[in-house]
Structures are given as C-alpha cells and as structure tokens.
Structure 1
Amino acid sequence: MTNTLHKAERLNRKKVIEKMFAGGSRSFSLFPLRVVWLPVEELAAPVSILVSVSKRRFKRAVKRNRVKRRVREAYRLNKQPLLDVVEQTGCRVAIAFIYLSDRVADSEVIAARMRTALQRIGETLTAPEGRGEAGGPKE
C-alpha cells in the first residue's frame, strides 16, 4: 500500500470536468468541502481527483495553495479504502473537491471530512443502484 498521488490520479481532462459540472454528477457537502463525483469509464487511473479553491475567498495564492496542499494530502493518506472498493466493483470515478470555507482549516479537520467523504462515495458505489452512469438522484 503506497500513499503516493501519481499524475494519472489528477483529473485534468477538460471533457470529463465539463461532464461533471454540466449535470448528472452526484454531490454532497461536508463543510469545508463540497464533493462532486461521477463514475466515468475514460480515465487512466481508478480514481482521479480535482481540487478547487476559490480565488474570491482566498485572494493570496499562498493561502489557496496551502489549502489545496492540505486537501491533496488528506486524500493521499485516506484513499486506500476507496481504491479497494473501486477495484472490487470495477468502475472508475472522477472526484472534485471544492473548498467552501473562507478560512484555512486545520489538517485534522480536512482529513476527518475527507475520510467521511471517501467512505460515503465507497458506500454508494457498493450499493446496487450506485454504479450507474450518473442516472441516480443527486445526494
């Protein structure tokens, strides 16, 4: 079990990102994170992530980068249970983490919310109706 975040695990395909935010994706909020996710087939990695921090909330790039680094670190350390579920079900998932707060949260808070979010996605994927191509209701 390696806790690295490879380049292939970063979501950067414009087509997939547009598909996620155009509708049909599933989303939920766990303050300070909003999680938007979508099962997709055309990904290189089993799980690909995108981290977004609003420039409106954090004017200084240093703070935006700090928040993005903390979110990526929380994902990197807590991704293994989700990867196990994804390998078991055979699907691929694109996830966007959008930071909502206007304050820099502690790493522990972000990590706790990340664990909950990844567990919630994993539970939805293992449910019989959870793996369909964005056909279910939004959470």
Structure 2
Amino acid sequence: MSAHSLPRTERLRSLGAVRRLFESGESGFIFPFRYVWFAEPDTEQSVEVLFSVPKKFHKRANKRNLVRRRTKEAYRLQKQILHDGRPVNLDLALIYSSKETLPYKTVANAVRRILESVVEHL
C-alpha cells in the first residue's frame, strides 16, 4: 500500500475510542482547527484520525464535504510526520472551527503545524 494512502484502518471509527479521546485526550487550537489527541505507548505504531466539520458553521453539505476533503488530503500527504517518531498508539481528531471555507494551502499549513505540535508533545 502506498505511503500516501488513507485506508479505513487509519480512520477512528470505534465509539469507545472516540469517547476515550474526548474524555481524557489533550486538546489545542491552531486556526482553523481545534484538535484533540490521545496517545499511549505501544509496541507497534498505530495512528487513527477523525475528521469533523460541524453543521453549526457550514449548513450546506457540499461545503462540509469540500472542507472535509481538503482536510483529509492535507493529512494524507503529511502523515509521515507522525510515523517518523517512536512507536505509540495515537488517536487524533481534527475539528474544523471556521465559518469561512478556506483555501487548501491554509488548511494544509494548519494540519502540518498540528502534526508537528503533537509529535513535539510525544
């Protein structure tokens, strides 16, 4: 499988894992994202990510889908930042928190800064 793919196994889907992430995870804000992450040491490296664009800010589904696609693409191309560290089981949620639909370049820069800050805390 390509290093720049985003298979289903790398997406956070388990209700228990999502609940644990939001109850005991650490959070931060880098415009236009609020991010929450939870890490625990493990023997093998596993990173799962959740993308969210609230209906509160973007009423139209096509705008939410556009922002979600841009975020997924930015993460997919830059996820090697997380995979270069030590083995850790990491769950990450990226929540888009801007009312404007920002260009891809802004989204990609924010995702890169988020991934770097998470690696810095590990």
Q: TM-score, normalised by structure 1?
A: 0.81
What's the CA shift string for 1:1-51, capped at 9, x where partnerless? Answer: 6211011000000001011112x2111100101110001479x97110000
Does residue 1:31 correspond to 2:31, yes or no? Answer: yes
Which runs of 5 or more structure 2 residues have no equivalent in the other structure? none
Q: Which residue of 1 aligns with 2:74?
A: 74
Cα distance between partner residues in 2 of 1:81 and 1:31:
19
> Which residue of the partner structure matches residue 8 of structure 1?
9
AA paired with 2:115? L
Q: What is residue 114 of structure 2 aligned with on the other side?
A: 117
Cα pair 1:35 1:96 within 8 Å, conserved:
yes
Shift of 1:74: 0.5
CA shift for structure 1 position 123: 1.1
Q: Identify, as 1 or 2, the structure richer in strand.
A: 2
Question: How far off its partner does 1:83 sit?
Answer: 0.9
Distance 2:88 2:4 in 1: 21
CA distance in 1, matches of 2:84, 2:45: 13
Equivalent position amino acid for 1:71 in 2: T
Report what 1:46 is aligned to: 46
Tell me if structure 2 keeps the 8 A contact 1:11–1:50. Answer: yes
Whole-Å separation in 1 of the counterparts to 2:99 and 2:71: 15
Which amino acid in 1 is paired with 2:13? N
Q: Aligned residues, how many?
A: 120
List runs of 5+ in structure 1 lacking aligned partners.
126-139
Equivalent position amino acid for 1:96 in 2: A
**Alpha-carbon distance, 1:81 to partner:** 1.7
| Pair 1:100-2:97 in alignment | yes
Moved over 6 A (4+): none
Letter in structure 1 aligned against 2:12: L
Secondary structure of the equivalent of 2:57?
coil
Distance 2:54 2:81 in 1: 29
